[in-house]
Structure 1
Amino acid sequence: MTNARSITVEATPATPWRNGGGVTRELLVWPGPADWRLRISVADIAADGPFSAFPGVRRWFTLLAGEGVALDFADQSLTLRPGDAPLGFDGAAAPGCRLIGGPVRDLNLMVRSGTGGMAAVSRGAAWSAPAGAQAGLFARVPGRWRSGDQQHTLSAHSLLWFDAPPPGGWRFEPDAPGSIESNTPALAGWWLHHIPEGLSP
């Protein structure tokens, strides 16, 4: 696992928003901060306000903690709570965000070129990175990532990332087995991937 990177949210510097409504912790950017095509971040939202616009970006959003949010798009309003499936949308949409019951923490995957995706960890089910992808796991709870005879221990709210993912089925085993419940499949963690432009099927 020489190409594995492990990044924890709490060890990542927080960047305050210009509007004062929250902070963002940038866990991973590829290939670099100035010209990123892949960005994974965690944000703490403390007040109502619009999302920043990211034209040309596909964005996935899911809640890690808090009561929930209402996102107001031009054509619809959606309510999201922890445990709901990740929401994918056009980064240029920049919906308004209203807090439900107080501050929340969320996970964001943004892809500027190529394709990507975010999928919830499911009990008993293995996950494999798509061909040509960079991929990883964001753990909401502490546990162990396993693939064959390889394993990696993760703390809560941390990212394990591979630029060249090992083949085969990946699994995530929470330290508390009850962390994955049949009615709340997104609570333990999420598989993330990005296939750079030119390699997409």
Structure 2
Amino acid sequence: MRIIRAADCLSMPWKNGGGTTTEIAVAPEGASLNDFDWRISMAHVGQDGPFSSFPGIDRTLSVLTGAGITLAFGDGERTQLDRSSAPYAFAADRAVDGLLVDGPIDDLNVMSRRGRWRHRVERLSGAGSLNATEGLLVLVARKGDWQVNGATLTAGDSAVLDAPGGVELVASGGEAELYAVWLTAI
């Protein structure tokens, strides 16, 4: 298991000035936005605007803080996401504008290269166990402190587990929340 501390993650402003991104993990390590196989990041979205297009990439978005965001797709589809919404998967090469519901949000963004990797994202709270028999499991602690197979994650920390098998999760704190990201090579 590899622990990624929040303090060690790199934050960078968007080119359009509408927000910032904090990269949590990327494969292969050091890959750019043009050649990653998968990427997990958090973003602070400060204003309405278009999402960057990523040809050949599948994306899942989860709202972490704020009132929410409406995804207005170029084909007319509209989907509103907020803190209570399940993680929302869509093709990252679809034209989409993000329209903030009532002020800035923070989100979790998971992307994988179609045809090479697939991913699934789930929001968890409280103690429990997970079983991941193949691929990678990335855990992103959002609220509270977590014990992951005996290692401690505090809010903002992440853990990368390679084909981990059974994973024991114990949460401390009343509103503990963690995101589980399953990544599988195709």
Q: What TM-score do you get using the length of structure 1 for normalisation? A: 0.82
Query: Residue deviations 1:97-155, cap 9 Å, x none?
Result: 011111111001111022111112154542211x3211121111122233xxx311111
Higher share of residues assigned strand? 2
Rate the CA distance shift 1:108–1:179 in 2: closer, same or farther, 3 A: same
Indicate conservation of the 8 Å contact 1:62/1:87, yes or no: yes
Tell whether the 8 Å contact from 2:58 to 2:112 is kept in structure 1 after alignment.
yes
Q: Which residue matches 1:64?
A: 64
Indicate the residue corresponding to 2:80 in structure 1.
Answer: 79
The letter of the residue matching 1:161 is V
| Deviations, residues 68-106 of structure 1 (Å, cap 9, x unaligned) | 111101231111111310000001014100111111110
Give 5+ residue unaligned stretches, structure 1: 181-187
Which stretches of structure 1, 4 residues or more, deviate above 4 A after TM superposition?
A: 122-125
Q: Which runs of 5+ in 2 are unaligned?
A: none
RMSD: 1.7
2:3 pairs with 1:6:
yes
1:13-52 paired onto structure 2 within 5 Å? 13-32=10-29, 33-34=31-32, 35-52=35-52
Amino acid at match of 1:190: Y
State the distance in 1 between where 2:155 and 2:139 align.
12
Q: 1:143 to 1:49 in 2, by over 3 A?
A: same
Distance (Å, rounded) in 1 between the aligned partners of 2:108 and 2:67: 15
Q: State the match for 1:139 in structure 2.
A: 141
Distance of 1:83 and 1:140 partners within structure 2:
14
Q: Which amino acid letter does the alignment assign opposite residue 31 of structure 1? A: P
TM-score (norm 2): 0.89
Identity of matched residues, % = 31
Distance 2:27 2:168 in 1: 25
1:192 pairs with 172, 181, 186, which one? 181
CA distance in structure 1 between the partners assigned to 2:127 and 2:12 by the alignment = 37
2:85 alignment partner AA: D
Q: Does 1:179 align with 2:168?
A: no
